[in-house]
Every structure is written in structure tokens, then in C-alpha cells.
């Protein structure tokens, strides 16, 4: 992860919160301030992994920000040489039956083509079941996001929930109360 971000020359992220966390070696700190900035691999990893400032849902949102920034930077980079460097780093850290050239060809198909991310965050709440504290995804939120994903995959037809001006609001009704 660190090497990929660094091979891309860093990433641009709008950091949602100011925080300080331990670096990957455990011998120093990474301090990030809220706001748009250029992050190194070490800083991007700190943003994606920190768990001491809020909760796992917010951490997941930060991870989405980082992954989107990595993909955007990779898509905006027009240099095959840079792609080769990134793919070499990936190759050292994963196993696949694709050859290096197969992976490079896949990367080339994306050059110059627009790509957009659509992300959703489930509405959720805390629930205690048998004295264990858990996170509950509200059923109406789960249904809404499932619908949106199914429409994007052309498994369902679009309806009023897919209109640009539509704003989903959860009833926040628990299935456990």
C-alpha cells in the first residue's frame, strides 16, 4: 500500500479530521490536519487505518476516500512507465495467474477513459443483543442501497429513488426493538 501510493507520487485527499497516529514502524507519529492535501504512502495508510478517533464506520468512509484517491491518481497518470512501476510493486505483494503483460494490458484499457465512483454509507445505529454491543444497518437503508446497486448492474429497473433530486432518509427503525 505504502509503495503503491509512493510510486504514484502521492495522492490528493480531503482529510475529514485532524488527528495524530503511530507510523507503520511504531517508532514515530503521523499528524494530519483537516483539509485537502497531498499525502505520502505513510500518511495515506495512517488515514485509512486510524481507529482511535471515532468508529469503524467512519474508518470505512476514510478507507473509501483513500482508495478513490489512489484510483483517480492511477487513472490520471498517463505514463506507462509509472504504471509499470506500480504494477511491479503490486506484483511483489499479491499472487495471480495473470502475467505482468496481461495486467499491464488491463491497465492500458483504462487510460483516457472516464471513471466515476459512487459510494454509499449505510444508515446505522448501535444495538445491544444479549449484552453485546453491535452495529445494526437499518433495513430501509439496506434496501435502498441494494436497489441502487441492482439498478447499476441492470438487475432492476430504475424508479423514483434513482432520480437525481431524490434524497433518501432512513426512518432509523430498528429490527431489534
pLDDT score for 115: 66
- In tens, the pLDDT along 36-51 reads 999 999 999 999 999 8
Q: How confident is the model at residue 169 (pLDDT cuts 50, 70, 90)?
A: very high
- Residue 154 has a CB neighbour count (10 Å cut-off) of 8
Q: How confident is the model at residue 4 (pLDDT cuts 50, 70, 90)?
A: confident
Name which residue leads in pLDDT, 7 or 37. 37
Q: What is the mean pLDDT of residues 93-102?
A: 79
* Cβ pair 47, 87 in contact under 8 A: no
- E strand residue ranges, the chain: 11-15, 19-22, 29-32, 35-39, 124-129, 132-137
pLDDT at residue 54 tops 90: no
Domain ranges of the chain: 2-110, 120-177
The rounded distance, in Å, linking the Cα atoms of 48 and 123 is: 21
pLDDT score for 151: 96
Q: How far is CA 160 from the centre of its chain?
A: 27
Tell me the pLDDT of the chain averaged across its residues. Answer: 85
pLDDT at residue 1 tops 90: no
* Predicted TM-score (pTM) of this structure: 0.67
**Domain 2-110 in CATH: superfamily?**
LCP protein (3.40.630.190)
pLDDT score for 111: 61
Q: What is the mean pLDDT of residues 17-41?
A: 93
Q: What is the mean pLDDT of residues 97-115?
A: 72
Amino acid at each position: 500500500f505504502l509503495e503503491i501510493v509512493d510510486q504514484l507520487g502521492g495522492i490528493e485527499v480531503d482529510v475529514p479530521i485532524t488527528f495524530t497516529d503511530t507510523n507503520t514502524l511504531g517508532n514515530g507519529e503521523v499528524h494530519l490536519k483537516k483539509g485537502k492535501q497531498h499525502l505520502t504512502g505513510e500518511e495515506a495508510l495512517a488515514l485509512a487505518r486510524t481507529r482511535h478517533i471515532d468508529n469503524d464506520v467512519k474508518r470505512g468512509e476514510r478507507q473509501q476516500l483513500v482508495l478513490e484517491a489512489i484510483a483517480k491518481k492511477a487513472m490520471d497518470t498517463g505514463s506507462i512507465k509509472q504504471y509499470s512501476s506500480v504494477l511491479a510493486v503490486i506484483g511483489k505483494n499479491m499472487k495471480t495467474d495473470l502475467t505482468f503483460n496481461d495486467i499491464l494490458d488491463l491497465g492500458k484499457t483504462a487510460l483516457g477513459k472516464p471513471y466515476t465512483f459512487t459510494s454509499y454509507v449505510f444508515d446505522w445505529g448501535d444495538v445491544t443483543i444479549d449484552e453485546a454491543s453491535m452495529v445494526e444497518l437499518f433495513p430501509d437503508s439496506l434496501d435502498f442501497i441494494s436497489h441502487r446497486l441492482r439498478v447499476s448492474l441492470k438487475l432492476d429497473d430504475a424508479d423514483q429513488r434513482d432520480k437525481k433530486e431524490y434524497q433518501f432518509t432512513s426512518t432509523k427503525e430498528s429490527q431489534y426493538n
